[in-house]
């Protein structure tokens, strides 16, 4: 399985994501610079990592959404390529319209860095199939703008279309309906604020993120 990790100025979780993908796939992912005009041929997974792309100027993910490579990411998503956006990557996915909603400042206007308890809302997607439905897992978070917002009609549609992948067991940032991760209707694009790539090694405190990457191989 061929994977790629996008790298923006200010990315700081791209190497963590690369390690996670190599651990599961056995192959080093391609590191794709934001200014590149093409993705690797035959790529199966594209990851948009966490960090502070462009220093979060304007708003989180807004400038990264205008990068050269983004047009190719949108085309890949339309072809069914699996797209994973974590933290800042989730923010970028909402900015480019691959996922609905927006990520706003946390309810307490503070940066949150801690382990978060999540509930796997559904296990019928290519990202969650290795989990049990309603399984409780622990995944680290590290964000300032992780408060997921969408209007009620959009939230209802996400729930009706089975597009809520993860919820916070305890709402830590004010996200609507405790949402921690959402899928597109086709099920090949996932955005989530918690960092599964930081939970793949017991030496780092837990392995609950590993099953997300293992799901991608199923």
- Residues with Cβ within 8 Å of 18's Cβ and at least 6 positions away in sequence, in order, are 5, 28, 29, 31
For every residue of 160-210, which 3-state class applies, written as one string?
HCCCEEEEECCCCCCCHHHEEEEECCCCCEEEECCCHHHCCEHHHCECCCH
Task: Choose, from 87, 95, 143, 163, the residue flagged as catalytic.
Answer: 87
Task: Identify whether 163 is a catalytic site residue.
Answer: no
Task: Identify whether 204 is a catalytic site residue.
Answer: no
Task: Identify whether 13 is a catalytic site residue.
Answer: no
Give the burial class of 189: count Cβ atoms within 10 A of its Cβ; 0-12 exposed, 13-18 middle, 19 or more buried. buried
Task: Choose, from 13, 95, 143, 195, the residue flagged as catalytic.
Answer: 195
Q: Active-site positions?
A: 87, 195, 197
């Amino acid at each position: 399985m061929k994977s790629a990790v996008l790298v923006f100025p200010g990315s700081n979780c791209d190497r963590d994501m690369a390690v996670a993908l190599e651990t599961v796939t056995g192959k080093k992912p391609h590191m794709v610079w934001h200014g590149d005009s093409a993705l690797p041929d035959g790529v199966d997974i594209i990851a948009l990592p966490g960090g502070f792309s462009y220093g979060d100027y304007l708003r989180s993910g807004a400038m990264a959404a205008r990068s050269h490579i983004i047009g190719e990411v949108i085309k890949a998503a339309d072809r069914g390529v699996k797209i994973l956006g974590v933290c800042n990557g989730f923010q970028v996915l909402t900015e480019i319209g691959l996922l609905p909603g927006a990520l706003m400042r946390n309810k307490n206007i503070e940066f949150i860095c801690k382990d978060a308890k999540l509930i796997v809302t559904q296990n019928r997607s290519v990202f969650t199939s290795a989990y049990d439905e309603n399984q409780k897992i622990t995944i680290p978070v590290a964000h300032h703008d992780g408060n997921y917002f969408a209007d009620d009609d959009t939230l209802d549609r996400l729930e009706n279309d089975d597009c809520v992948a993860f919820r916070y067991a305890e709402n830590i940032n004010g996200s609507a309906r405790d949402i921690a991760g959402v899928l597109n209707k086709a099920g090949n694009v996932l955005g989530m604020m918690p960092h599964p790539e930081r939970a793949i090694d017991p030496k780092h405190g837990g392995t609950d993120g590993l099953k997300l990457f293992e799901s991608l191989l199923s």
